[in-house]
Chains A and B, each alone.
Chain A
Amino acid sequence: MNVAAEGESTGFNIHPMDQFVVKPLFGGDTIEWYTITNVTMWMGIAVLAIIALMVLGTSRRAIIPSRTQSIAELIYGFIYKMVEDVAGHDGVKYFPYVLTLFLFILFSNLLGLLPKSFTTTSHVAVTVTLALMVFLGVTLLGLYKQGIGFLGMFWVTSAPLAIRPILAVIEVISYFVRPVSHSIRLAGNLMAGHAVIKVIAGFASMAVVSPVVVGAVTAIYGLELLVAVVQAYVFTILTCVYLRDAVGGAHH
């Protein structure tokens, strides 16, 4: 009552964070781990969109591709080349996992730009899981492949002996900060962009500024499209960079 009255009195009733609330889809208040929520729905839609593009789009297996098949092949070739270039030849084995990450993040980001939608990748829970999977996977893979020699990447042999211990401390810290920056970057970008759009759109209730608001929301929407694609790209290429450390492409 009080809040509503306050909102009435100032003319604005903006709740920019409401779009991120996780709700059970079929009623009920409690959210157990198995509850079907809007998270489930939008992840499912992402899966369906990926299947539509990558499976149905390529179903004709044409030598001369259709438009959809072209896009699917383009994404495949783009990520394949990225893995090969960044992670090296030994990294190509992990291409399916990298492509999975890229497609999931790209489609979640883009679907989140639909009005009334829910952006799964704007949640720290999701991005932290993604980043930790990469971090743990890369660390375990590195230890498995190179044994104790994997820890050699913290011991910078090209530096003078005296400052190597200091560098080792810095390297270890930066290594453990990786999953944090990896996850916060994605969630932060998505969340901030969506919140800003909501806040600006809220000002549209003031008739005087509403034309400006429409223009601003349009402009930010364009920017958000760019951010959605670029963040998917950044997450993927960083995964490839970390993968290179594990498969031993960089530090010999």
Chain B
Amino acid sequence: MATEAAQDAAAGAAAHGAAGQSSGMPQLDFSTWGNQIFWLLVTLVVIYFVLSRVVMPRIASVLAERNGTITNDLAAAEELKQKALEAEKAYNEALATARAEAAKIVAQARADIQKDLDKATAKADAEIAAKTAESEKKIAEIRAGAMESVTEVAKDTAKELVAVLGGKADAKSVTAAVNALLKG
């Protein structure tokens, strides 16, 4: 019994030991190191050559090209901006010139109109003055005519009155009397 148990234990231990070896740490199984190191070196050399011969020149050129494109685009944008600024300046200048021109034209027109107006006013004043003078002359004539008529009427009336009253009217004395009265 005892020996059997001991044998069992030994077999178990042996089996366990074997299992432990196979499922221990494969990392520390130095018999595979040579293989791993060899293939690692092959892999690294392959990656290195692929990268340095193909990938890196390609990516470097793409990046350089992109940078160049971006720089060119920025320069072009800057140039266009400058042009736009110049155009704006030119536009503003043209606007200012046009405004000044318009102001000048307006002033000119105003001066012309004023001159015409002055001329017309003077002419109208002259005509008015002429007409006034003429009217005054006419009025004076009319007034003189009226005075004459009044004198004649007064003489005639006086002669008639004298005749009616039975007097013999001396034409000369009547006229003198009427004239004296009119003057008085």
Residue positions of A touching B, CB distance < 8 A: 1-3, 15, 17-18, 20-22, 31-35, 37, 39-40, 43-44, 46-47, 50-51, 54-55, 58, 61-63, 65, 69, 72-73, 76-77, 95-97, 99-101, 103-104, 120, 122-126, 129-130, 187, 191
Which residues on the B side are within 8 Å of A34 (C-beta)?
35, 38
Per the bound structure, the CA–CA distance linking A31 and B31 in Å amounts to: 7
Per the bound structure, the CA–CA distance linking A31 and B29 in Å amounts to: 11
Residue positions of B touching A, CB distance < 8 A: 11-12, 15-16, 19, 22-29, 31-44, 46-48, 50-52, 54-56, 58-59, 61-63, 65-66, 69
Which residues on the B side are within 8 Å of A126 (C-beta)?
36-37, 40
Which residues on the B side are within 8 Å of A50 (C-beta)?
47, 50-51
The answer to whether A33 and B50 have CB atoms under 8 Å apart is no
Other than A22-B35, A126-B36, give 7 A-B pairs with Cβ distance below 8 A: A2-B16, A33-B35, A39-B39, A50-B47, A61-B62, A69-B62, A129-B36
Which residues on the A side are within 8 Å of B46 (C-beta)?
47
Known contacts A124-B28, A129-B40: does B58 contact A3 (CB below 8 Å)? no
The answer to whether B43 and A96 have CB atoms under 8 Å apart is no
The answer to whether B51 and A100 have CB atoms under 8 Å apart is yes
Q: Which of A2, A40, A58, A125 contacts B11 (CB 8 A)?
A: A2
Which residues on the B side are within 8 Å of A47 (C-beta)?
43, 46-47, 50
Per the bound structure, the CA–CA distance linking A40 and B33 in Å amounts to: 13
Q: Which of B23, B43, B65 contacts A18 (CB 8 A)?
A: B23
Which residues on the A side are within 8 Å of B22 (C-beta)?
21
CB of B35, distance to nearest CB on chain A (Å): 5
The answer to whether A72 and B55 have CB atoms under 8 Å apart is yes
The answer to whether B28 and A103 have CB atoms under 8 Å apart is no
Per the bound structure, the CA–CA distance linking A101 and B61 in Å amounts to: 22
Q: Is the interface of A mostly helix, strand, loop or mixed?
A: helix
CB of A133, distance to nearest CB on chain B (Å): 8
The answer to whether B27 and A123 have CB atoms under 8 Å apart is yes
Which residues on the A side are within 8 Å of B41 (C-beta)?
129
CB of A184, distance to nearest CB on chain B (Å): 10
Q: Which of A51, A73, A123 contacts B59 (CB 8 A)?
A: A73
Which residues on the B side are within 8 Å of A129 (C-beta)?
36-37, 40-41
The answer to whether B48 and A3 have CB atoms under 8 Å apart is no
The answer to whether A31 and B32 have CB atoms under 8 Å apart is yes
CB of B49, distance to nearest CB on chain A (Å): 9
Residue of B nearest to A1 (CB): B15
The answer to whether A130 and B40 have CB atoms under 8 Å apart is yes
Q: Which of B12, B24, B35, B43 contacts A2 (CB 8 A)?
A: B12
Q: Which of A22, A44, A76, A95 contacts B26 (CB 8 A)?
A: A22
The answer to whether A104 and B24 have CB atoms under 8 Å apart is no
Which residues on the B side are within 8 Å of A21 (C-beta)?
22, 26
The answer to whether B65 and A63 have CB atoms under 8 Å apart is yes
Q: Which of A2, A77, A100, A124 contacts B44 (CB 8 A)?
A: A100
The answer to whether B15 and A54 have CB atoms under 8 Å apart is no
The answer to whether A20 and B27 have CB atoms under 8 Å apart is yes
CB of A221, distance to nearest CB on chain B (Å): 22
CB of B17, distance to nearest CB on chain A (Å): 11
CB of B42, distance to nearest CB on chain A (Å): 8
Per the bound structure, the CA–CA distance linking A82 and B132 in Å amounts to: 110
Which residues on the A side are within 8 Å of B25 (C-beta)?
17, 20
Residue of A nearest to B43 (CB): A43
Q: Which of B16, B24, B65, B66 contacts A3 (CB 8 A)?
A: B16
Q: Can you list 20 pairs linking A and B with CB atoms under 8 Å apart?
A: A3-B19, A17-B25, A22-B32, A33-B35, A39-B32, A43-B42, A43-B43, A46-B43, A50-B47, A61-B62, A72-B59, A76-B55, A76-B56, A123-B27, A123-B36, A124-B27, A125-B32, A125-B36, A126-B40, A129-B41
Known contacts A17-B25, A43-B39: does B51 contact A96 (CB below 8 Å)? yes
Residue of B nearest to A14 (CB): B23
Residue of B nearest to A104 (CB): B47
The answer to whether B44 and A104 have CB atoms under 8 Å apart is yes
